[in-house]
Amino acid sequence: MKHPVRLERQSGVAVIAIDNPPVNALSTAVRRGILGALEACLSDERITAIVLAANGRTFPAGADISEFGQPLQQPGLPDLCDLIEASDKPVIAALHGTTLGGGLELAMAAHYRVAHEDTQLGLPEINLGILPGAGGTQRTPRLVGVDAALDLMLSGKPISAQKALEIRLIDGVVGDDLRETVKALAADTDETKPTRDRRDCLADGAHYMSRVSERRRQNDHRFAAKKIIDCVESALLLPFDVGIEVERDAFSECLASRASAGLRHAFFAERRAPKFPELKQASARQVDRVGVIGGGLMGSGIVIACLSAGLPVTLVEEGETGVNAALDRIGEHYKRAVSTGRMTQGQGTSALNYLNLTTEIDALRDADVIIEALPEDMVLKEAVFAKLGRLAKSGAVLASNTSYQNVKDLADAAGRKTDVVAMHFFAPAHRMKLVEIGVTEDTDATAVVTAHSLAKALGKIPVRATAQPALLGNRILQGYRKVADRLLLSGATPAQIDTAMRDFGMPLGPYEAQDLSGLDVSWALRRRNTDWPAPLDLELADRMCEAGWTGQKAGQGYYVYPDGRRTGEPNPDMLKMLADERADKERSVFAFTGQDIRDRLLCSMINTGAQLLEEGVASCASDIDVVMLHGFGFPREKGGPMHQADALTPHHVARLIEGLAEVDPDLWSLSPLLSKLATERQKFEQL
């Protein structure tokens, strides 16, 4: 095995070069390598200065996250940082790439830091529910002051090398030849190491304490945020070594927290999802032009996503009215981007220059990927796919943004089964990061990989699914809504259910969400298609649509929105309608707690997720989590429904579902896979 740390000597300067692709994470082997190299340098009298650098694309991007949760192997990163700081030979860190987390902590322990001008530096631990645990909470405020330190640690966002220089996080920025420049600096450094007065940043203690209190008053709900603020306060009030002890305890508490487990799961799940098996079988075709059919809300969002990624688009709309409406929608987006300073006028104009808006479907002849984004009307879609089958160029990918129809039928209509996939975006498509790629048994690997590469080029996370109506996310959503409706029928109110799910961490409850997106969309689907989605067993939604209460845009739905307000009050007419339906159906009414509601809705997501795995629609449990995190706003610190199942244990979830099935046997049917995991005391992540 290649050694992950190399030591080179050139006259009096030693270079310790970390070499652990892809991101030089500070794994046990790397830490051991650095320790060995440092000890060799310190005991070698010929060496007068040490350069700490990294090969490949970056200086370490942090501790090795995959080692978290396992017993800590020596040496720990804090010990290495101490050894570097205590070295009587000057240590200069040469930074490039993404110098993050433990990587930056290692650099902060060095006596000087010089970065390449393109370097991004940051302390993103908060995104994983932890804090800088190798002395970072104590060294950062001493180096850059409390404000900048809290900004770095609480935002988790990286800063540029130039900004890092301004706040004195680093000592120099260089253009080319970082390694050679730093080696030359090291050769020139006089041999006495600079001692840093660890009390420096306490000079204006009262000011800094007020900044700490201010941050505390902002009441950041994240556990790690509270701990970071505590640690920075310790840096102000306590000697360095005691502050380090505070940091160590806080780090252990954060690492053991459920939020950190959920966030770390999300990190790896997002990176696992795009690893489609087809990537080993085929290469993507070049995509020089995208075609989009339908410039409604979804189609326009897809067009904007493509234009913003610099991809030319041909958008086909019906008639002049359709063309003008689409142009208004897309133009409005760029106008707003320019007026809010997110884009210059020139950038907005040049993005629009890549758009060819037409009523002629023939204009799609030269498109490499064509995405149909029409309303969920199968007759219309099949007619369009039949045309595409005849006119699209050979090898073009024919994709449908459908969330409900069977893509196999569209492939049949096109007569080009190998070229057809689902590419299901989430609204608004230019902002939401998720794209479900639905693959039929006939889809060619090249078509799959080309759709995947387009999704990546748009900055999206592609998740693979076997093409089935509703793919992954909407299958789960359907079960979720069904269980919510049953709760309504059994005594809960929309407001109770929405509050319970917001308390769980969802951005919106199921009824607020329907009011926002419009109840008429799924009403139209139910009327058009008797098989899918399955008819509701609560008639309330249909009755509401018949009365014109289609949600926010109509001024009333499950809530009323007087004077165009965006937050509603419970709709008394809807509650009366619900009470009438309960009475007609002679339903007994029960009182539900928030926990009852959350248990049922979470169990529904988990049970449907398990069914999707059984059916082979989802490739792995963590893909379902990515879909729920990025498509439906499932709270990230909870990791996703399948991660929650593992955290609660499948055994516990299965017992809950069995209990629910006793009361509502027509609604609940325990997934055999979940039952098996429960019996064998296994977890989804072990599948």
Residues 134-163 vs ligand CAA: string with x where CB under 6 A? x-x---------------------------
**DSSP one-letter string for 446-489:** HHHHHHHHHHHHTT-EEEEEE--TTTTHHHHHHHHHHHHHHHHH
510 binds ligand CAA, rule: CB under 6 A? no
Q: How, if at all, do strands 559-560 and 120-122 pair? A: unpaired
Direct distance between the N- and C-terminal alpha carbons of the chain, in angstroms, rounded to an integer: 29
- The pairing of beta strand 5-10 with beta strand 569-570: unpaired
- Pick from 64, 515, 520, 637: which binds ligand CAA (CB under 6 A)? 64
Could you tell me which of 420, 311, 323 has the C-alpha nearest to residue 367?
311
In the complex, what is the shortest distance from the CB of residue 574 to ligand CAA, in angstroms, rounded to a whole number?
Answer: 45
Kindly tell me which of 142 and 598 has the beta carbon lying closer to ligand CAA.
142
- Among positions 29, 42, 65, 323, the unique one binding ligand CAA when judged by CB under 6 A: 65
Supply the minimum distance, in Å, between the C-beta of residue 421 and ligand CAA: 23
The string of DSSP codes covering 372-388 is: E---S-HHHHHHHHHHH
132 binds ligand CAA (CB under 6 A): yes
* Given 33, 102, 509, 640, the residue binding ligand CAA (CB under 6 A): 102
> CB-based contacts of 427: which residues, under 8 Å, 6+ apart?
297, 298, 301, 517
Task: Return the residue of 14, 47, 50, 100 that touches ligand CAA, per CB under 6 A.
Answer: 100
Contacting residue, 85, 125, 278, 372, with ligand CAA by CB under 6 A: 125
Q: Applying CB under 6 A, does 63 fall inside the site for ligand CAA?
A: yes
| Contacting range for ligand CAA; rule: CB under 6 A; set: 56-64, 360-368, 424-432, 674-682 | 56-64
The residue range among 133-141, 302-310, 342-350, 605-613 that interacts with ligand CAA, by the rule CB under 6 A, is: 133-141
Query: Per rule CB under 6 A, is residue 98 in the interface with ligand CAA?
Result: yes
Q: What is the DSSP string of 358-415?
A: ES-GGGGGG-SEEEE---S-HHHHHHHHHHHHHHSPTT-EEEE--SSS-HHHHHHHHT
Q: Check binding of 225 to ligand CAA (CB under 6 A).
A: no
Asked if 574 touches ligand CAA (CB under 6 A), the answer is no
Pairing status of strand 569-570 against strand 559-560:
antiparallel
Residue type, 120: Q
CB distance 425 to 302 below 8 Å = yes
DSSP 644-662: HHHHH-HHHHHHHHHHHHH
Cβ(668)–Cβ(657) below 8 Å: yes
Q: Verify binding: residue 124, ligand CAA, rule CB under 6 A.
A: yes
* Bridge partner residues of 535 (DSSP): none
**Contact residue for ligand CAA among 51, 84, 108, 128 (CB under 6 A):** 128
Closest separation in Å from C-beta 65 to ligand CAA: 4
- What amino acid occupies position 182? V
- Asked if residue 667 binds ligand CAA (CB under 6 A), the reply is no
CB 59 to ligand CAA: min, Å: 10
Judged by CB under 6 A, which stretch of 58-66, 185-193, 252-260, 465-473 contacts ligand CAA? Answer: 58-66
Position 133 contacts ligand CAA (CB under 6 A): yes
Does residue 655 touch ligand CAA according to CB under 6 A? no
CA atoms within 13 A on the CB side of 138: 28
Site size for ligand CAA (CB under 6 A): 24
CA atoms within 13 A on the CB side of 201: 27
Residue 100 or 437: which CB sits closer to ligand CAA?
Answer: 100
* Region at 92 (left for phi over 0; alpha for psi -120 to 50; beta for the rest): beta
Which residues participate in catalysis according to the annotation? 105, 125
Which residues ranging from 266 to 295 are in contact with ligand CAA (CB under 6 A)?
Answer: 271
What's the min distance (Å) between Cβ of 281 and ligand CAA?
19
The nearer residue to ligand CAA, 100 or 654, going by C-beta atoms, is: 100
Q: How far is the CB of 244 from ligand CAA (least distance, A)?
A: 12
- Rounded Cα gap, residues 623 and 19, in angstroms: 31
Residue with smaller CB distance to ligand CAA, 76 or 428 = 76
Closer to ligand CAA at the Cβ: 50 or 63?
63
> Which residues pair with residue 7 across a beta bridge?
16
Between 153 and 343, name the residue whose CB sits nearer to ligand CAA.
153
In whole angstroms, what is the distance from residue 644 CA to residue 605 CA? 10
Contact region for ligand CAA (CB under 6 A) — 60-68, 189-197, 382-390, 660-668? 60-68
> Tokens 């709900």 label which residue?
221
Q: Looking at 15, 18, 34, 77, which residue binds ligand CAA (CB under 6 A)?
A: 77
Contact residues toward ligand CAA (CB under 6 A) are 22-23, 25, 61-66, 77, 98, 100-102, 105, 124-125, 128, 130, 132-134, 136, 271
